[in-house]
A and B are shown apart, each in its own frame.
Chain A
C-alpha cells in the first residue's frame, strides 16, 4: 500500500544551520506530496506541497522538490531559526482514494533548534 518514510528524529541543530529532513514515499499513481508542521501545543499546519513531478514547494524559507525518479520529497532550509522548532510530517494523498484528500502521514521528525 501507499506509505511514507521519513528520517527519525529528534534532530537538533544550532541556529542558522542548514536543515535537511529526508522523506521517501511509496505510491501507486501520482500522489500530491506535502510537508505539515506541528508547533508545540498546536494542530497541524500545511507547510508546503507539490502536486506533480519536478514541482518545488516552498514556504517560510523551506523547500522540497517532488522527485519521481527517487520517490523523494526531502525538506530543506538554508538557515534555521529557533522558531522552526516543531514536529515535521511528510505526507501524501492517496491517489486511489475515491473521495477527497485521504492523507497518509510519515512518522514525524522532531526538530529542535538551539539559540
Chain B
C-alpha cells in the first residue's frame, strides 16, 4: 500500500510554545489530507480536512487559530499547534488520500506539553 510518513513521532514541548507536525505522502499525490487526534483510551476524532491549495475545513469545536493546517503541496501537510498547553497533549495522526481513493495513515505523533 501507499506510504504516509509523519514526523516527529514524539515531541515534548514547553507550555506556550508552538509545535509543527509534518505529514508526507511518499509515493502518491495526496489531494486530501485529514488530521485526527486521539485522547488516551478514546477513539480518533477528526479535527480537520485539508485539500491541496485550499484552506482547511475544521470540525465543529476545533479552534482553527490554535491548530493551523497548511497543505501547500500534493505531498505535504503540516499541523501547527500554537501556544500549546498541557491539555493539548494527545496523539495526533494524519491520513492522506489521492482523488477519492483509500486513505492511508501516518504513524502518528505523540505530543506532550509540559
A residues contacting B by CB (< 8 A) are 36, 42-46, 49, 89, 93, 99-108, 110
Contact A106–B43 (Cβ < 8 Å): yes
Residues from chain B with Cβ under 8 Å of A105 in the complex: 43-44
List, sorted by A's number, 20 A–B pairs whose CB atoms are closer than 8 Å: A43-B6, A43-B108, A44-B93, A44-B108, A46-B1, A46-B102, A46-B105, A99-B32, A100-B32, A100-B97, A101-B32, A102-B34, A102-B46, A102-B49, A103-B95, A103-B103, A104-B46, A105-B44, A108-B43, A110-B41
Q: How many whole Å from B27's CB to the nearest CB in chain A? A: 16
Residues from chain A with Cβ under 8 Å of B103 in the complex: 93, 100-101, 103
B residues contacting A by CB (< 8 A) are 1, 6, 31-32, 34, 41-44, 46, 49, 51, 93, 95, 97-108
**Assembled-state Cα–Cα distance A55/B70 (Å):** 37
Q: Looking across the interface, which residue of chain B has its beta carbon closest to that of A99?
A: B32
Contact B95–A99 (Cβ < 8 Å): no
**Assembled-state Cα–Cα distance A108/B39 (Å):** 12
Residues from chain B with Cβ under 8 Å of A110 in the complex: 41
Residues from chain B with Cβ under 8 Å of A93 in the complex: 103
Contact B95–A42 (Cβ < 8 Å): no
Q: How many whole Å from B49's CB to the nearest CB in chain A? A: 7
Q: Quick one: which of A36, A43, A100, A102 contacts B98, CB cutoff 8 A?
A: A100
**Assembled-state Cα–Cα distance A101/B31 (Å):** 11
Contact B105–A101 (Cβ < 8 Å): no
**Assembled-state Cα–Cα distance A44/B37 (Å):** 12
Residues from chain A with Cβ under 8 Å of B106 in the complex: 43
Residues from chain B with Cβ under 8 Å of A44 in the complex: 44, 93, 105, 108
**Most central of B1, B42, B93, B95 by chain A CB within 10 Å:** B95
